[in-house]
Every structure is written in C-alpha cells, then in structure tokens.
Amino acid sequence: MSNSTSTGQRKVDVAIIGAGTAGLAAYRAAAEHTDNLLLIESGAYGTTCARVGCMPSKLLIAAADAAHHQQHTSLFGIADQQPIIDGKQVMARVKSERDRFAGFVVDSVESFPDNHKLRGRAEFVSPHVLSVKTDQGTILIEADRIVIATGSRPTYPAFFNQAEDRLVVNDDVFEWDDLPESVAVFGPGVIGLELGQALSRLGVRVRVFGVGGSVGPLVDPDIKAYAEKTFHQEFYLDPDAKVHSIQRVQDGVSIEFDLKAHPGERHQETFDYLLAATGRTANIDTLNIANSGLVLNDRGIPELNPFTLQAKSIEEEENGNPATNPTSSHIFVAGDANNYIPLLHEAADEGRIAGGNAGQFPTVFSGKRRTPIGVVFTSPQMMTVGLNIRQVEERCQHCFEVGEVSFEDQGRSRVMGVNQGLLKVYAEQGTGLFLGAEMIGPSAEHIAHLLSWAAQQRMTVPQMLEMPFYHPVIEEGVRTALRDVNAKLNLGPAMIERCLDCGPGA
C-alpha cells in the first residue's frame, strides 16, 4: 500500500475518491491516459453490490425460493412438503458466497500498483487539494483533476432510533449468523420488498410498512395496485401505514400501528428487529464539499452534466453558464455519489465516463447513456424499462397509446404455475416508437432486457412485432401487449405532423 509513514504531500494528475463500482471503473478509464493517478478508499475494499447489495440479497432470495417451491408443488400433483429451514446454514452460505464475490473485487484492487492506492478518509481543503487522514498521519494530495465516487449509505428517519440496538439496515442483515423469528420492515421499495419476501419465505414473521403508497419502483397505478394485492396475499404489506409508536422492549421492538384491514384500530406487535429500508443517501457530506468550489443543490449534491459527469463550479455559475452544461470544472461525480441512477451498471458506466474525462481533461466527451432498466427480484418479479407512464404523459401528452397483457391466462405461465402478472407497454402515436414498459410478472428480468434493447435501438412497435417469438414461451405475452398497442396506433403522415411537438427527438 502507498500509505505514508509520516505526514506529507503528493501531486497527481487524477485523484479518485472511492473504490466502489464507479471508482474502479473511473480508475481503469483514467489509467488509459495517465500513470500519475491515485485511488483513495476509507473503508474495506469491495463494492456495495458485492458486500451488502446485489449479490448477498440474491443469495438470500435463492434460499427463500427453494423453500417456497418445496411448499407449492400440489398444483402439479406432487405433495407439498414443509421444508426444514436451518437459519445458520442459510446465512453461512450467504456470507461465504458474499465473501467470495467481494474477494474478486479485493483481488482486483490489490493488483493495482502500490503507488496508485491510498487508504484513508479524504476531505476537500480547496478545489484542487485533498486532505487524506490515514493510520500513519495526514497526507495532502494536490490533484489536477478529481473524481468523486464515494457511493451511498442507508438512511432512515430519526424516529427509528427508538428501536435502539434492534434497529438494523440491509447491510446488517448479511452479518447475521442465524435467521431471527420476526422482523418489521420499513420501506416497501426494492430493498424492503426483496428482503421482506425472502425472510418471510424462510419462516420469519414479517410485516412491511410504507408511507405514501409506493410499491417498489412502480409508477403505473394499475400495476402498482396489482403488486400490492399480490404481495399482501403472501406477507403483510401496507404501503401507506399508520404507525403510532416504536419502542425498545425487553423482547425486542414493540410497534403500535393501524391494521391495514381495520383503519383506526390500533394493533401492537413485538419484533426481534426493525429493518430500515427507507432509502440511501450519497456520501458527499463527509468530504467537506463546501471547499470544493462546486455548486450544490438543495440536498448538498454537486450539480453536474449527466452525460459528461462534469460538476459545475461556483465560478461558472457566477458567469451565467447553465448548470446542465459545465465546461471548465476539473471535478467529476460518478455512481451513487451523484444520486442520479443508483444502480450498479449505471455506476460502472458513469465511472468510465467520469474517469475517461478526468484522464484526458480539458477534453471532455459526452458518454453514451443506456436506456434505463430496473429489475426487482421479488416473486413475481417487477421491471421498468425506458420511460414510465408519468414521463410518457409529460413528454407526449395525448400522443401515445398503451398496450397491456395479463399473465393470468398466458399459456406458458399457466403451464409453469406462475400465472400472476401484468405488463404495460407505451408507444408514440404517429411514429409507433416504443417508449417504455412496466411489469410485474414471471421472467420480468428477461423481458426487461428484450424491451430495453428494443428501446435503445429506437425500434417501433411494428418493427418489434416483426421479431421472432417461439412457442410456447412466456415472452409471447410481450407480443400480445405489443399487438394490443399496435392496434391503437394510427401510423401515417397526418399523425406524424400532429405529433411533431412530441416526436422521437423531443
């Protein structure tokens, strides 16, 4: 490692703060342009995805699905069996495989040259100078260009602190040696629903509470209602709960709330843990960001161009340059740190864009941003692709159509006994351009990829219907939805002229 044995100074072309997914991608991209660079990390090596996110959560879900399937075979004439769930064995595999995935990342970082790495906590002293506190002392790093890739951390209301030592976040779940008997999950977003359902299927008594009615990433009201009903049939889910109190008691956490089926009727229940899955906040507040010379939004996040990841300096703002088009700042922000699209593949893309631009600065290029895609690994799965219904309405007003399909009677879905779900696709009138989709249902992770590829290729619905569909497959449901929207499209010169204000380039 390059930790100094005493305080000192160092000058580099590029300093990258954070060795997560975005930081590692930025390092590799910047290294193509300069060998005088430094990767600064204050915590353990290993990305959020590998250590506490994507991979350990999918390991827990895989165990939960195995238990669930064993209990639901009577549909096929095979007797259901009550599984014997060994919580210690479940968590042992989760942690072992988690450590294996994280180990690959650690090995990768360890292979970087020693003079490219520094362990310590960085803060801005000025726009070009970082103070890094290491175990051996403080080192001042003067950097011509800087990439901020500090990631994010779980956040929750102060109200939850009343649970005291029984308050956990998703990071903590993957350190458990055994499964608890009961968990109250607050936050029916992606993390809350994935972990809540998995724990429930593994025999944990689970209740999931939300505020405001949100269910995962869903926006379409019909699909959101379908998801709420479907999940609530399996485990308690109230996405707009009325919670009166949280209290640490001898046996765990006592929560008083109104039962969903009986509004106004208070119910008290005690849980081993309160799991806060209410969102994440960017790790910007630890950087003394006020000394960076950057313009910050009302959440304290640097304003930036989402295509170059270049932040906007206060000097530029004073000169009247638009926030969306900074041109002179030497600082770039990538991954969860910018709170733009907090997903691993987006963080990797952003890291490459930010690192490349930092490496070749002052030359700055707009990086290619891919069609938005999101998947939730619940059962049924959920997915979003491209524009959601709200964005379509804002962009095209009345110049769009919606096609849909229910998977309840879809052939292959019924054969497999997974016939729950609803898919909606959105297309533009006049052009037939495919705009986006939202779904809860079987194989959503695979359907999301097919539809995101079509959206990124700017395919029209008629072009998509020319593609091959095998029989019998779940993907035939996609064709049904496309046929539905295609029948509503009035394609031709008159409609194209009417929709000029919301055309493909709008």
Q: pTM, whole model, 2 decimals?
A: 0.89
Structure confidence at residue 341 (pLDDT): 64
Identify whether the C-beta of residue 321 lies closer than 8 Å to the C-beta of residue 138: no
> Which CATH code is given to the segment(s) 158-278?
3.50.50.60
For residue 354, give every residue at least 6 positions away whose Cβ sits within 8 Å of its Cβ, in sequence order, or none.
Answer: 22, 26, 29, 147, 149, 309, 332, 333, 334
The list of the chain residues with pLDDT below 50 reads 1-6, 494-506
| Closest-CA residue to 146 (of 125, 131, 133, 129) | 129
CATH of 373-502, one of 1.20.58.1000, 1.10.10.10, 3.30.390.30, 3.40.605.10: 3.30.390.30
Structure confidence at residue 7 (pLDDT): 66
| Closest-CA residue to 374 (of 384, 387, 389) | 384
Q: How far is the C-alpha of 86 from the C-alpha of 374, rounded, in Å?
A: 32
According to CATH, the topology of domain 8-43+120-152+281-360 is FAD/NAD(P)-binding domain (3.50.50)
Structure confidence at residue 2 (pLDDT): 43
Identify whether the C-beta of residue 354 lies closer than 8 Å to the C-beta of residue 334: yes
What are the b/e assignments for 477-496, b being 16+ CB within 10 Å? Answer: bbbbbbebbbeebebeeebe
pLDDT tens figures, 201-217: 999 999 999 999 999 99
Residue spans per domain, the chain: 8-43+120-152+281-360, 158-278, 373-502
Alpha helices (H) along 420-491: 444-456, 461-465, 476-488
Task: Return the SS3 of 402.
Answer: strand
CB atoms within 10 A of CB 83: 15
Helix or strand run (H / E) with residue 400: strand 400-406
Instruction: Estimate the crossing angle of helix 54-70 against helix 190-201, to 10 degrees.
Output: 40
Structure confidence at residue 320 (pLDDT): 65
Identical fold, 8-43+120-152+281-360 and 158-278 = yes
Asked, as a colleague might, if the bond just before 362 is cis with ω within 30 of 0, I would say yes
Structure confidence at residue 499 (pLDDT): 42
Cα distances (Å, whole numbers) of residue 324 to 30, 147, 306, 312, 382? 23, 18, 8, 8, 32
